[in-house]
Amino acid sequence: MYLSRLFLVGGAVLATVQARPQDTAVVTVSAPFSKPAVITLSSSVTGGGEEIPPDATYFSPTTTISLVTSQGSLVVPTVTSNQTRNSSISVSTSTTNVSSSTTLVSSTAAPAPTSTQPCNGYLEFCSRRYSNITHVCAHNSPFNVIGNVFSNQRLSVTAQLNDGIRVLQGQVHKGDGVLHFCHTKCEYIDAGPISLYLSDVTKWLKAHPNEVLTIIMGNSDNAPPTSYRDQIKQAGLDQFVYTPPKIPMGLDDWPTLSEMIASGKRAVIFLDYGANQASVPYILDQFSQLWETPFSPTNRSFPCHVDRPPNLNREKAGGRMYMANHNLNAQIKMDKLDVLLPAVAELPISNRVKGFASLGEMKNTCLNQWNRPPNFLLVDYFDVGGGSVFRVAAEANGVKYKGKCCTKIISASTRPSAPGAMIAALGVFVVAVMTLL
């Protein structure tokens, strides 16, 4: 006889789990817009969602470090300790000449251009600093294969950008000798070399000259930033990358969108772990300039305290940008099964403008706690709600939402699905961090 159990999230049935012999379990996941999805897990399924490399460290400069000198050299930090992810790293500064083909940003700001075209969709944004705007971030943007349990979106990156996404986030792993966008492991879902995805981003930037984008990459295997540089160049994105004048960039250090657009440097790239701006100055260290609320959240109240980097005090947090992680997950534990699934039944609630557990409420919680809204609102399946996530961002920015969302979903029968995926219905919102103990 099989052992079964129901799992509820917010009063709705998220999943039914049936334990079976031979270390397998059948998980039937309820979705709000289609028939349930059935997933069979075996002991070969391992891994986690948002991953922190075991040797990850946090770069915590004690002073502002200028990246540009009159000789065009870089002033780089020397790390004096290599502590674990739960500790801060103190640094001293030393001057080092670095040979680089990258054009460094001038330390003298040019006069702000006068814009007659909207910047990122709004004329009001043109005169605002990059650090003074709230944008919606597509969590794990590359993973959009309908029918694969490790997908977090269901639209292509081009469609995401057309609909209004201006921040793209994705998890990166090593595969076939180059870096791939993969979720947990490349055998679960592999969006290919990052250059393929970034090529689409480059094409979109060329076609939209008044747009500024942000790309946040999760360096799950702690690859050197030079590996990212090579694929960025291969994608042609290097012509658009923004190089900051110093480390770290505080709230008042960032240029306006007009200035970035006029310079042509309209792509800001962050790496969560392992960035080295001495060797690749345009791949920015994330956590010294952008902190996050708890990631892979399971708390429907969505607290807005600092989670990464650890031990960041309020004064320092108040001086840098931050991202609100609003991708709700639920943990399913039964027998040998320990699975973290997104709360798919809650998507119409978590993506809405108002109400408990909504994105709008989290925005307000953060605003009340920090006296400014988040810079980035990270969500799964941004299109659920028909543009509601963009309305939340517009409210945070003090503007009226003018966009049109969202792109019509392609039939699941015409989209590829990874081998072994057992979801066939359109609109099944299932993304898993699966660990079978």
Residues with a known catalytic role: 139, 183
φ, ψ for residue 359 (rounded to 5)? -65, -40
Residues 6+ positions from 309 with CB-CB distance below 8 Å: 58, 60, 88, 287, 288, 291
Does residue 27 contact residue 16 with C-beta atoms inside 8 Å?
yes
* DSSP one-letter code for 322: E
Does residue 256 contact residue 127 with C-beta atoms inside 8 Å?
yes
Residues 6+ positions from 426 with CB-CB distance below 8 Å: 33, 34, 146, 409, 411, 412
Is residue 224 reached through a cis peptide bond, with omega within 30 degrees of 0 on the bond before it?
no
Q: How far apart are CA 1 and CA 218, in angstroms?
A: 42
Q: How far apart are CA 196 and CA 180, in angstroms?
A: 9
Residues 6+ positions from 368 with CB-CB distance below 8 Å: none
Taking each helix axis from N to C end, the angle separating 194-207 and 225-234, rounded to the nearest 10 degrees, works out to 50
Residues 6+ positions from 203 with CB-CB distance below 8 Å: 158
DSSP 170-213: EEEEEETTEEEEESSSTTT-EEEEHHHHHHHHHHHHHH-TT--E
What is each CA distance from 122 to 130, 171, 256, 310, in whole angstroms? 13, 30, 13, 35
Q: How far apart are CA 148 and CA 424, in angstroms?
A: 9
Map residue 265 onto helix, strand or coil. Answer: coil
Residues 6+ positions from 396 with CB-CB distance below 8 Å: 134, 363, 367, 373, 374, 377
Using DSSP bridges, classify how beta strands 167-175 and 135-138 pair: parallel, antiparallel or unpaired: parallel
